[in-house]
Each structure stands twice: as structure tokens, then as C-alpha cells.
Amino acid sequence: MRAIKRIIPLLFFIPFIYSSCQQNDEYVSELPQGFPELEIPEDNPMTNAKIELGKKLFFDTALSRDSTISCGSCHFMQNAMTDPKRFSIGIDNQAGTRNAMSLANVAYGTSFFRDGGVPTLEIQVITPIESTEEMDIPIVDVAKRLNQNAEYRKLFKKVFNDEVTPFGITRAISAYERTIISGNSPFDKYHFQGDDTALNDSEKRGMELFFSDKLNCSSCHTGFNFSNNTFQNNGLYVVYEDIGRMRIEMDSVNYGKFKVPTLRNIEVTAPYMHNGSLNTLEEVIEHYAKGGMHGKYQSELITGFDITDSEKQDLINFLKSLTDKDFITNPNFAP
């Protein structure tokens, strides 16, 4: 009886220890002011261990056929998780056909890739791994390969209570990608954090221009992430080599349409446009000031505008105020 008396309180205590261990591993995101809550899929709750595993996978070249390319080969911290090359170089030195998009705030994406053909971050993981131009390996084979690795076996057991599986790979990487949050730029400090000194006069003038009806930038580059997540033909060409969203939707209405990208950290994400064809912010502003190339399917929002040199400089200064230095130096986003 004495022994039982001692054991019963212990039995009550054990579940508490266990549940507190579980709670400790739950990822608590510290979202920037002004950012909405993240929507986390039910089948992919975020835990610290899963995010850590996702980061390891993200930067592991074992996820490509010849073990030369990782996700991180095309998304660099100092470039706000983009690639400074016009076209990223995939397996066998193959160049892609589109400029790598920023992963900053990808957690808020409603569709993925330039043409938005993929609806979830989890499914998105499969695409570059299986693309013959990028990593070129069936994700099933990646799972088999990683199952040969004792450390991965241990980590997947810990996170998913399973061996390495395509499910686990997609969930871990996307959980990590949801932590790639950028929202502490001078603009954020000024607009969301109440620091009136965070922007100088030129940047403030540029901000007014940016949000003005005259320039109309904010018709598409709007909201906390400077994107309305729509697809637009921005008049870069009359005849597009890459038909963009039309490849997905199959209708000419979507000819040459690409996803409106975030403008956060735009200073460090050159080159610009879906195909990286413009090298500087000056070139981009000139393109829009000119009103595009007036193709049949060009967005009606691209109408052109007059802008003086000093206004142009103010606008560029404002765009540069969207650079989040904490983000582009955050070691969590580097190998």
C-alpha cells in the first residue's frame, strides 16, 4: 500500500511533464506589427524540431539527383531569399527560364510560382525537386536516399514518428519556409511601429508617389506584403516567349500574366520582372512610366505616367526603405 501511495502522485505528474515537453516544442511565431496571423494547415502544425529539420533539408544538396543543388542554391539570405542571377542554374548547369521569386513572407502566399500553378506551400516543395531543370529527382527517391542516413532517420522519427517519407519532406520544408518572415524595414518602423523618424523626407515623398493615383503602383503592390496576389500582364512585351499564367489556365485572357511579387527588400532582389530582364529599379520605373509595350493582353492598370528625375529618385529611395536589414542578415536563413 505504501508503494502505491508513492506511485499514484507520480502517475499524475508524468502526463504533466510530457505535455509541458510537447508545448515547449510548439513554434511561437513573433510576427512583425501589422502582419496578420499565419494560417497553418491542419496537417502541418509548426514545431521547432520540424522547422529545424526543414532548414536542414532546405540547404541539403542530397535533394538533387547528383547531390549538387539544394533549395538554398537559388535562394540567398543576402538577396532576401532570391537569386541574383537572371536565371538560376539547376542540375547539369541548366539555366531556368524564370527569375527565382523571393521567399520572404511566402507563408502568406495564396498560390506559388510565377504562374501560380501550385496552391499550397506543401505541394510547392515537390516541384523544384522533381523538375528536370532544377533538382531532377523523384521525391520518392530522395526519401529512399535520406533513409540511408542515420541522422535523418532519427530526426524524422522524432518529428513525424516515421521513416523519411515524401510527406515528411514536404511538411518539414514548408514549415521552415513559413518562418521566412520579413517585416522590420524602415517603412515598417514608420508605418506599423510608429517611428516617425524611420523615413527621411525623400523616402516620405517617394511613399506618397508610390501610393498616388498618378503612379498607381499600389493598385497591385498593396497590403502589408506589397502584393495583391493577382496575376498581371505588365506590358513587358507584345509577344511573350513565356506565356505565364496561360499555361495553367489555358485561356488567352491569362496571356503573359505573372504573379504580382512582393516589393519587400526590392533593393536586394535584382534583376527584376518574371524573367529578370531589367537590372535596376530605374529601368523598372522607366518601363512603367512608358506605359508598357501596349500588347493586346496588357493590364489596363499600366497606363504610363510623367515623372521627374527628382521624383524618380524619391520613389527609388522609398523602395529602398523596404529593405529589412535584420532579415537579410538573419542566420536562420543561411546554411
Partner 1 sequence: MKALRYILPLFIFITFTFSECEDDPKPILPVENNLRLDFSASVGTNDFSVDTEFLNEDSHPTKFETFKFYISRVTLVKADLTEIEVKDVALVDFKSNFSKKVRMNVPSGNYVAIKFGIGLDSVLNASDPATFPQSHPLGISQGTYWSWASQYKFAMFDGRVDTVGNLGSATDVLVSIHPGTNPLYRKIGGLQHTFTTNTTSTEVVNIDVDMFEIFNGDAGKVDITVDNQSHVTPSDKHIATRIMDNFVNAFSIE
Binding site for partner 1 (CB under 8 A): 43, 113, 117-120, 122-123, 126-127, 130-131, 138-140, 165-167, 169-171, 243, 246-248, 250
* Cell numbers that stand for 322 in this block: 523596404
Nearer to partner 1, 198 or 243 (CB): 243
What are the DSSP E strand ranges found in 184-248? 231-232
Nearer to partner 1, 45 or 138 (CB): 138
* Least distance between partner 1 and beta carbon 127 (Å): 4
Query: CA–CA separation, 38 vs 34, rounded Å?
Result: 12
* Least distance between partner 1 and beta carbon 259 (Å): 14
Nearer to partner 1, 177 or 267 (CB): 177
Nearer to partner 1, 166 or 295 (CB): 166
Please confirm whether the linkage preceding 271 is cis (ω < 30° from 0): yes
Residue 54 in contact with residue 159, Cβ under 8 Å? Answer: no
CA nearest 311: which of 198, 202, 222?
202
Question: What one-letter code names the amino acid at 39?
Answer: E
DSSP assigned state of 232 = E
Query: CA–CA separation, 183 vs 265, rounded Å?
Result: 10
Residue 185 in contact with residue 322, Cβ under 8 Å? Answer: yes
CA nearest 127: which of 107, 145, 100?
100
* Least distance between partner 1 and beta carbon 126 (Å): 4
* Least distance between partner 1 and beta carbon 111 (Å): 9
* Least distance between partner 1 and beta carbon 250 (Å): 6
* Cell numbers that stand for 64 in this block: 538533387
* Least distance between partner 1 and beta carbon 228 (Å): 21
* Least distance between partner 1 and beta carbon 252 (Å): 8
Nearer to partner 1, 154 or 247 (CB): 247
Give residue for cell 502522485: 9
Nearer to partner 1, 130 or 283 (CB): 130
Nearer to partner 1, 140 or 238 (CB): 140
Nearer to partner 1, 36 or 45 (CB): 45
| Segment holding 6, helix H or strand E | helix 2-25
Mark 276-294 as b/e (b = at least 16 C-beta within 10 Å): bebeebeebbebbeeebbe
Query: CA–CA separation, 233 vs 254, rounded Å?
Result: 8
* Least distance between partner 1 and beta carbon 9 (Å): 42
What crossing angle do the helices spanning 309-320 and 281-290 adopt, rounded to 10°? Answer: 130
* Least distance between partner 1 and beta carbon 242 (Å): 12
Nearer to partner 1, 108 or 255 (CB): 255
Residue 29 in contact with residue 109, Cβ under 8 Å? Answer: no
